[in-house]
Structure 1
Amino acid sequence: MATRPGTRPGVPGRFRLSHLVRLAPRSAGARALAGKTLERAAGRHGCDDLLADRADAVREFRDVLDRHLRSRPADCPVCFRALLAAEEEYHWANALEGFTDDVHHVDCPHCGTGVMIVIGGFGRCSQARDGNEEIRRDLRPAAADELTGTGRWMHRITVRDGQETLADGIAHLFGKAECPCCAGVFGIADEYTAANRPVTR
């Protein structure tokens, strides 16, 4: 499929974002597409220049999303991810699936073992293989008053908007995990962010 000069295949061009934001208050499709634009337009693939001159549109979209989320809408997970992207939390915008069966991969900072973090219907645990044995350890969720920075903001928004599943998932995601192999304890969000947060210009 041909693309317009100056645009990249698969990424809505910068000329479309302002139009989508204008439609966003009354269109779930526009909210979803504008959110995907932000999620994909910054990251290691080098498309962050698409947002270079769209600060006003991003700010307006952030306000639209915040107002919309207060109404406890059916498209809450999609809009919450879009809000994360508008706040430049791109790695979380691309990672969170609503905590029905979310799986995140991190390396234990103590022994280097690859650890799978499971939050959702399959449980809330860290999981790794030791030889032929699969070992699980329960996660240690953060209490609301222990959260700081991005975790506190994400948790506050979801509690405010009555999104109990999201709030519980965030408390676990920003809590602690025990490595099933070495028993070392580490912050899940810290390790995931260090490995996955994109560097933008």
Structure 2
Amino acid sequence: MSVAGDRDGRRLWREISAEAESAANREPSFDEMWRRAPRPPVRELPPVERDRWPVIATIVAIVLGVSALIAMRERIVRILPPMATAYRLLGAPVNLAGLELRDIRAKIVMEGARRVLVTEGEIVNLRREPNRAPPLALSVRGANGLERYAWTAPTPKSRLEAAEKIAFRARLASPPDEGTEVLVRFARADEVGRRTR
């Protein structure tokens, strides 16, 4: 609508047509219905400092676990004997007796007209506590590795103190002629007093 004036100063009103366009009601399109709303821009978070304590604790736990497996290997092998093979392969053999034979030497000496096999060495207690020393089981073997004669001999002491080391000497009169080596080990309970040819 506009206002115009005439010569007499009177105001004249003039009508102006107006047009309006109105869109018809319609269903929203698939894209309009299912289009996701735009996501707000991602705000950069400050870098998070990672805590190193869980990693350090894991490493310490592994080291302590391995140390315990090594330190308690005798107890573990008593409970699970097949573990002895695993420890031996890892270079940590298990000695359930806690005793070790060292510096074994064997020689034939003549006492008058009689030959005598003399076997000497040391028995060492590997434990930090007193330990029982069982009798020794000795066997003379031939060149083919077969046993020619076996016997047991008592140790000089039946009980060794912590880390104690004692020398032993075992004698066999008239040893077999075909014997080439002597094997020495600790006797089992069922072997004590045994002599076999």
Q: TM-score, normalised by structure 1?
A: 0.23
CA radius of gyration, larger in? 2
> Which structure carries more strand by proportion?
2
> Which structure carries more helix by proportion?
1
Q: TM-score, normalised by structure 2?
A: 0.23
